[in-house]
Structure 1
Amino acid sequence: MRLRRLDLIRYGKFTDRTLEFGPKPDSGPDLHIVFGLNEAGKSTALSGYLDLLFGIEERSRYNFLHEYSAMRIGGVLEFGREGHTFSRTKQRNNSLLNAMGQPVSEVAILAHLAGLSREAYGTMFSLDDETLEAGGKSILESRGDLGKLLFTASAGLGHASDTLSALEAEADGLYRKQAHGTELALLKKRLAELKSRKDAIDTLASTFETLEADRLDATEKYDRSITERSVLSARLDSIAKYLRAVPILADIRRKTAQLAELPDIASPPRTWTGSVAEMIDEDASLRTRLSANVDEVERVTTKIASVEVDEVILAISERVRGLTDRKVRYISAGLDLPNRKTDLQILDNAVATCLAALGRSSEPEPAALLLPAAIVGAVRNMVEQRSGIATSVRVARDEAAAALDALQTARERVGEERAVPEPARARLTSALSKARGSGHLREIKTAREAEDESGIRWEAAVRRLHPWSGDAQALAKISVPSARQVGAWKTRSAELRTSRAVLSERLAEYQGNHELLSARLDALRASVDVTDDEAAAIRHARDEAWTRHRDDLLGATADDFAVALARDDSIGAVRLANARELAEIRTTNRSLAETAAVISRASAQLSQIELDVEAALSEIRVSARDLLGDSLESSPE
């Protein structure tokens, strides 16, 4: 920015005075020196220039000639070699005017001042004699903004002022006179608080000695009390042990007296104490098993001795075994009976349909309607003759129609064509006679009769293929299983039927045996007072009583063990009395388990046979699907 002209219109002692500096030269210095006598108006002109840029001050001292409302200055400012005319009046708002006298924004000038304030601009660019002297002193004393600016400019430290400002702010934050929020003030306040707390908890030396003596005395008393308490606790534990040993001592004395009354025998080792109960149980178990085995041997021996050899039955034993196969066949026939009944129902329906077609639905004996064989043969011959006659009639009718057509055609041509010559007529007559004398008509008739007979046989054959339906081409496309394959299917079907019948019979027999064994087991359990499970529970209770007594050695536990032992002995006696029944119960249980396993195995085999049957049916369905379609029955036959 450059000042080209300054207009002191009404400012200070000037009225309509202009200072012209001219345009900026293209080359050379652009320096203008304003000089004059004292009170000539040099300072007034400088103040007028600053007021033009920043506005006339509120308390301006240049109103001694013109009133505030009349004060006015102007000038031309160059911004980038382009001149702009402005004027300034003394008022609070809209004091900057353009060349047309209209208010403009302050930004028009401030935008070119780089944010400098009036003071900063005056310090940097408005130097006079007084400011130079004050600046020199500031430089010497390193005070004041001017001194700072000149010092930093001469030293080349452009950011020294910012650093000094930051240091001054930091110093003010550390300490500032009569300030309460500085760091030093806060630390002093904290120090005072700590001193107050120290004074509050501080103790005099005499008081501390008294308190320390009391503490030592209390510690000594506490240690002495702990020692006495330990001694008393040990004494109480000893007394408690003695009290617990009193009943045991009485029991020992009683048992010692009992032992003294018994004869002298060798004492067993102490290691036998833990195995006595096991030995008792094992002895009882062995005795029971021995008794059961002896009884079983006696029973089997008696049964063998009571068996009488029947020579007659032995002689027919082979026949009896042979009846097994017949029994299987009988069972198979019984299983196949529903299928046969179904076939019979189908035939009955067919007979009823035939009777309805004959108008004899109420006939009680359809067999009476059957014709004798001779009549049937004669009827068949008549049917065949009728078929030949019908064929001849049809052929004759066709020939007659053809002859009529030929005659009509010939008659139509008679009038159109000229008369046939005699030689040609003779040849035609001869050819006609030969044709009539030949056997072509007879051969045609025979061929047509054969065709009709073939059609009848075809229809009969197709009816026999029911439920299949279709023509000859469809029948030719069907893949028919070979005779070998059909035979294999029949053999497999017979084997499956036989196996299923045998397994079904065996399964029924095993299930009957299982029911008999279950009933027998229930009866045996009802006759026995104590079962194995109850005996095991009583023995377990005895072992627990013995374990508790061995751990505590009290009179109460000894009594409990005696009761449990007596109960176990009584149960053992009862079981010895029922040893035979118990052995039979165990044998029956084993037989029952074996029978259940056999039933399970037979059921699994029967299920496997059913799966094999289903697989065979699936194979047959796949092979015969084209011929039978969806009408295949669910039977391996």
Structure 2
Amino acid sequence: MRIKKLELIRYGKFSDETVDFPHSEHDFHFVVGPNEAGKSTIKTAISELLFGMPHSSSLDFVHHQSELRLGATLESDERSLVYHRSKARKAPLSTSAGEALPADALAPFLGTADKAFFEQMYCLDHTALIRGGQNILDASSDVGQVLFQSAAGIASLGRIRDSLAEEADGLWAKRRSGDRAYYIAQKQLDDASADLKAAMVRTSAWRMAHSAVEDAEARKQAEEIKHGELERKRSLLERIRRVAPHLSVWREKAGELRTLDEVVDLPADAEATLQNALTKLAAAESALKVHAESAEQLQAEVDGLSVDHALLSLQKEIQDLEGTRHRCGNHEQEIARLEQEVALLLREVADECAELGWPDDEQGARESLPGSLALQTVSSLMLNRGKLELAALKAEQSVEEQLADIEALNKKLAAVPCTEIPSGLQVSLRAAQKYRDTQSTQRRLEDARRDAEHALNESLATLGKWTRPVSELKSMTLPSTERISLLRAERQELLSRVKLARDRVDEAQEVACVSSSELDEFVQAHLVVTSDQVQDARGARDAAWSAIKSGEVPLASGATKFEDTMRAADDLSDLQVGSVTEATQLLVLKKRVASEKDALVRHKRNLSDGEAGLVQFDAAWDALVAA
């Protein structure tokens, strides 16, 4: 018997589906499909189709129990049978037309096989294999007993099975137990699921947190603005505080001067000059006394010296050691100073970490530093922001210009009187518009004429001696066609290279011009303070203070300049802090302009080389023509 066709009319998840098993050379069919495709359903359908459906089927999740129906076409020798099977009690077998068939209609095809034999021999699945293996070990079935008796010498398999059963019971059982591995893992899974659910953030909570962050950012920006204003006020008050003591002293001295009688007017720097002279005199007397004592001591030491020539031979080493001694003379103070600077820097780092919410220790701060990718992303975002700001500024300027042009045109249009223009005049005006720019047309035609004459003269000049009479030309020896083709191809290649180089030069000039314009517009639109400007301002401030400190410039005349330079340095420093983004954009623009200028020089060099090669080729061609 063989099954030619299986009809899943209403069975399981299938409705009016057909599975054909056509004849083939080996007549062996594989049914392959993914999980839940219906392979097990087809196996069960074949068993129930041949031996009947149970009273309660588990395959009624789509169709009702009473509506389940199967069909098949069976073949045996030269007989065949087409029938349907349903769950009807009186006539479960019927033809495809609905006519009842006798209960033994399948006997010629099934023979003596029953459902148990058929399922044991032809309907094996995972559950049946497990059950068969258990029967072999238990020897509970006929087949199991035969196999067990034929396998003499394996009596220990029972103990092995018991140990495996015990181990399986320790892993899992139907009754829940806290010491079984499955339920322990299930508890861990439930705990992990609960933790995951507790850690998940709802959309509403995230939106509320995001809104809170945005509000905090807005408040932070407002506080930063207030902080900047207070910082500027503090800087002003700090400068007033530094000047106030000097102003008080000046007022006291002015009051004392007013209480004095009429005195001789001295120069404004007389006191400073006197003090300076007294200081120098005291220093000179002290130095003279010290030098005299030192001279006497040295003379006494020289008188008592005995020359050690061996020691003199080590003069260079001694001088090197002396230099080392001088360099290391203050090493303890230098180490203490450096330790203080390190401690100060660590405190500054701790303060910055506290503001950022990072750990205040050095190791924690190092671990909290963003990676190079984050820094690169921030730099890229800063550059993109600068470009977008510059583009927005240009767009606003362009919009303002266009609006101004539109307003001017509207005014002109409003001033034009509204009169009816005849249609003939309109036609004549459109026809005359083609000739309104005759001068440019004449210039264009004149340029075309000159270009044609120039091309003609160049062509005649290129011919050289080939412009002679025909009789002389016939008597001349012509170069071969292959050589002329090669020379023409070579010159065409040189012309292409020159043209390409000229195009690249033009493109590079245009790009460089655009970049230079962007740089100029950026410099005009932004007040960018660079580190060099700040260093120069601080240098001027330090120079003014050094001049006052050394006495080169009097305090009265140098104080104003020092105050101005100090104020300028502080203002530039404040502006530099506020223009970090613009400074970065300016540096990028300058680098891009420099790179584009280098590219322009390189393209110009290539153009010069190409033109030189073309001139050299033309010279060789002229020499060939003249030969």
Higher RCO (CA 8 Å, separation ≥ 6 residues) = 1
Larger Rg: 1
Q: What is the TM-score normalised by the length of structure 2?
A: 0.27
